[in-house]
Amino acid sequence: MGNSIHPTAIVEPSVVLGDGNHIGAYTVIEGDVRIGDGNWIGPHVTIGTPAQYVTEKFEFNGQRQVVSPSATAACCAST
C-alpha cells in the first residue's frame, strides 16, 4: 500500500515516510523527520520547522499591542 500525498502538499526529499500514509492539502513536511506507517496528516499542517515566534498581537478592539520577547517567553514558559 503506497502513500497518498495531495498535489499541493510539500514533502522534502529528506523526509522518511513509512507506508500507507495520507497527507492532506497544503501540508508541509520538512527537515530530518521520520513518519511511520498508517498516519493521517490533515490539511494545512506543518511538521519539522521551528515554532513561530510572534512579537505582536492584535486585540479585539483593533488596537495593536506590542509584546516584548521576554514577556512572550515568560508567558509561554509558565504554561
User: For position 78, what pLDDT does the model report?
Assistant: 47
The four Cα atoms 45, 50, 51, 55 give a dihedral, to 10 degrees, of: -130
State pTM to two decimals: 0.63
For the chain, the C-alpha Rg in angstroms (whole number) is 17
| Model confidence pLDDT, tens digit, residues 41-77 | 999 999 997 766 666 665 555 556 555 555 544 445 5
Instruction: Provide the Cα torsion 35, 38, 42, 47; round to 10°.
Output: 0
